[in-house]
Amino acid sequence: MHTSIDKRRIVRIEEIVPETPTVRTLVFRDDLSYGAKPGQFLMVWIPRVEEIPMSAMINSKKGYAAVTIRKSGIGSTALFERKEGDLIGLRGPYGNEFVLGKNYKKILIIGGGTGLVPLLRLASYASEKKLNITIVLGARTKKEVFFEKIARKLLEHDRSSVKTCTDDGSYGLKGTTVSMMSNLVRNNTFDCVYTCGPELMMKGVVDLANQNSIPVQASLERYMKCGIGICGSCCLDSSLVCQDGTVFNGQQLSKILDFGISYRDKDGQKICYS
């Protein structure tokens, strides 16, 4: 029986995977989430607390998916503190998706933090197509590096590689994802760059890709109340991230003045990145 993506469905948390002291992955059974496209998101309802947008994480079991949450605000902290057996609500998946061009052979994937969630789903699709994939995982310190094992397992049979970097040099190469990308594009030719993570990081990735005439796609995060284009909370200039995104290409982002400059809080106030 077909279930509308707009109708909230209740699922039970069946497994909790600790990633770091402040990051957890919650696993649940849900066919619609299992079939989400790379870049699509779910509206996750924490009963009596809040509903928040989250990317759908891949899971190896058929019919299962997950969300990865970093303990931060009211909603994310409440979700982080859920236990196995607890119930949460889901709507979606919503939004567009990362696009793998028909002629693409070699791609570069760059992510930081929980922004790796949609990128791992993308990597699994690209791996099935036998593409040459380079994944760059960025974090501030060694303690904040996660999903490396999953990434390596996804690409273990391919002509691909996983590279890690930390701002303080405590793991992998010392430096930012943008500095690592600069070195990679200097010595390699990529058909497209895909990125998700902190917006200032993505701004650097997109600018560098545009400067080198490399197609680039970025999955943006904005505060959302509805996820279906009604509330306007996720506006990005004249675009709505929930309807026009979450994935935007380099040409689109070069014309969006808010990208990498400002975002809106729950009250709709514009906040500039410091």
Domain count along the chain: 2
**Do 72 and 122 fall within a single domain?**
no
What pLDDT was estimated at residue 3? 66
Q: For the whole prediction, is pTM greater than 0.85?
A: yes
Burial 85-109 (b: 16+ CB within 10 A, else e): eeebebbbbbbbbbbbeeebeebbb
pLDDT at 267: 80
Q: Kindly tell me if the per-residue pLDDT of 195 is higher than 80.
A: yes
Residues 95-107, mean pLDDT to the nearest whole number: 96
Say if residue 154 is in the same domain as residue 129: yes
Section 192-220 average pLDDT: 96
Residue 264, domain member (yes or no): no
Token pair for residue 72? Answer: 């931060």
Over the stretch 131-155, which tens digit does the pLDDT of each residue have? 999 999 999 999 999 999 999 999 8
- Judged against a pLDDT cut of 80, whether residue 65 lies above it is answered with yes
Please report whether residue 58 resides in a domain: yes
Residue 126 pLDDT > 70: yes
Q: Is residue 142 part of a domain?
A: yes
Specify the pLDDT at position 157: 76
Residues 69 and 24 in one domain: yes
Could you list the residue range(s) of the whole structural domain that residue 81 is in?
A: 9-94
